[in-house]
Amino acid sequence: MDALDVARWQFGVTTVYHFLFVPLTIGLSVLVAILQTMWHRTGNERYLKLTKFYGKLFLINFAMGVVTGIVQEFQFGMNWSDYSRFVGDVFGAPLAIEALVAFFLESTFIGLWIFGWDRLPKRAHLASIWAAAIGTNLSAYFILAANSFMQNPVGYRINADTGRAELTDFPAVLTNKVALITFPHTLAGSFLVAGSLVTAVGLWHVIRNRGSADTGAYRFATKFGSWVVLVASAAVLFTGDIQGKIMTDVQPMKMAAAEGLYTTESPASFSVLTVGSLDGSREVFAIKIPYLLSYLGTGDPNGTVHGINDLQAQYATQYGAGSYTPIIPVTYWSFHFMIAFGMAAGAIALLVLWSQRKGRTPSSKWLLRAGLAMPVLPLLANSFGWIFTEMGRQPWIVFGEMLTRNGVSRSVSLAEVLTSFAAFTLIYATLAVIEVKLLLRYAKAGVPDVSEEHPIDDTPDDAERPLAFAY
């Protein structure tokens, strides 16, 4: 074990952990904004209750996303300083712009939204949640543009004197074809999580809280969430399909590793299940769907998909001796788990909608269990998606330009990285337990009573009145 291994593990753990909260922030900010807009449009108190209810769950999650996000920005410099030196000219710009353009918007307006119920005119308050939601989604775009540079570097040149990457075409970095397709794919995956949470919590109340005065609100939430999940599932499939073709083009090794395709095939079949040898160097047993991989990768059922062994030989000639193959069992299973868990959420959403057809009230214990599993499934799918896309890029930190092992900080000792890895793991694990317990507590508590809402008024005698919201 050396500092490099620990730095890799720390990046993996802190990034996957950060991205447990991000999808919910991205998706739920928009869904809460939609609910509040419906309240404004209809005046129906049901939507106000749902806005406040899901808004609370959103904020419990939001706090975690914010604080774990700061670590991400600092970590490049702390553990990956040679990487930072190499790409800073290109990679730093989208990060800085994200902070200035998106993160300020999100953080400032979320404060206005949380505390502004009795301080802002109704419309300004509604605009605040939309501004925060737009900030959140914009922020995802800039971060994904930065990440896409690592997958498919564009708009740069290597300065022969300094050995550093230099930006030559910023619009090209922002319109990197990997970024343009990863952004909608990530958003769709995020709405899958958010819709699943809305559905699961609604369904729990519909089944467990029968006869409650708020059943109508919960039924609406369940249907609303299920439709979001269905649309998001379709969007995930559609964008994922395009992403596969772009990946086959710019990172063929990643596509081959996703499928455990060792030798070049035309047509190539899609593996539903492959068991490889223990060292991952060849396959032992497989169930396959003919032509499908060729279609996914190239759009042509008879298209050629390059195999791991051929690509390895080609890269060794191109970049010098060495292994250019990711860890195949990791890429293979993370890719397959991503698809399976993501699609499972869509299937359950269909069941939930079916169970409520024509005003029926579902009561099945099994449906409830499936419903409660719902938010976990797309979260796992998101995590496996990131594990796949980052592990599939290995051994590169910037594809074709810099190896991960060359990006690590030279001045940081093993003891230092171990300390930091241990500290983050410990605090993250503790906070995860607290966060999940709070989410469950507030999800069970149900929609709030909104009958005491007071309209905004600025008369002097309100100095003694309690705030609509306080920490």
* Cα 331 from Cα 349, distance rounded (Å): 28
- C-alpha span between 47 and 40 (Å, rounded): 9
Q: What is the DSSP-derived secondary structure letter of residue 117?
A: T
Q: Which of 134, 339, 414, 431 binds another protein (CB under 8 A)?
A: 431
> Which one of 180-188, 284-292, 336-344, 460-468 is the stretch in contact with another protein (CB under 8 A)?
460-468
Q: How far is CA 61 from CA 28, 50, 197, 440, in A?
A: 10, 17, 12, 12
To another protein, the closest distance from the beta carbon of 204 in angstroms equals 20
Phi first, then psi, for residue 408 (nearest 5°) are -70, 155
Binding of another protein by 368 (CB under 8 A): no
Considering only residues 61-100, where is the footprint of another protein by CB under 8 A? 62-64, 66-71, 73-74, 76-79, 81-82, 84-85, 87-93, 95-100
Q: According to the binding rule CB under 8 A, does residue 353 interact with another protein?
A: no
**Residues contacting another protein: total by CB under 8 A:** 78
- Binding segment (CB under 8 A) for another protein, from list 103-111, 224-232, 271-279, 326-334: 103-111
Please select the residue that binds another protein; options are 22, 31, 32, 114, rule is CB under 8 A. Answer: 114
Question: Alpha helix (H) ranges present in 175-214?
Answer: 177-208
State yes or no: residue 290 binds another protein (CB under 8 A). no
Instruction: Give the residue with the Cβ less far from another protein, 300 or 449.
Output: 449
Eight-state DSSP code of residue 457: -
User: Could you give the C-alpha distances from 94 to 46, 98, 147, 185, in angstroms and in order?
Assistant: 40, 6, 10, 19
Candidate residues 275, 423, 436, 440; the one interacting with another protein per rule CB under 8 A: 423
CA distances from 419 to 3, 16, 270, 361, 412 (A): 11, 19, 43, 53, 11
Residue 445 found at the interface with another protein (CB under 8 A): no
Runs of H (alpha helix) within 362-453: 365-373, 376-391, 414-445
Among 107, 209, 309, 312, binds another protein (CB under 8 A): 107
Interface with another protein, residue 133, by CB under 8 A: no
- Indicate whether 53 belongs to the interface with another protein (CB under 8 A): no
x/- letters, 390..419, toward another protein (CB under 8 A): -------------------xxxx---x--x
Q: Is 26 in the site for another protein (CB under 8 A)?
A: no
The answer to the question of residue 45 lying near another protein (CB under 8 A) is: no
User: By the 8 A CB rule, do 349 and 223 touch?
Assistant: no
Q: Residue 443, interface with another protein (CB under 8 A)?
A: no
Contact 194, 27 (CB under 8 A): yes
State in angstroms the smallest separation of the CB of 52 from another protein: 13
Sequence letter at residue 150: M
Q: Which residue has the tokens 């990457």?
A: 165
Residue 123 token pair = 């419309």
Indicate which single residue of 381, 420, 443, 447 sits in contact with another protein (rule: CB under 8 A). 420
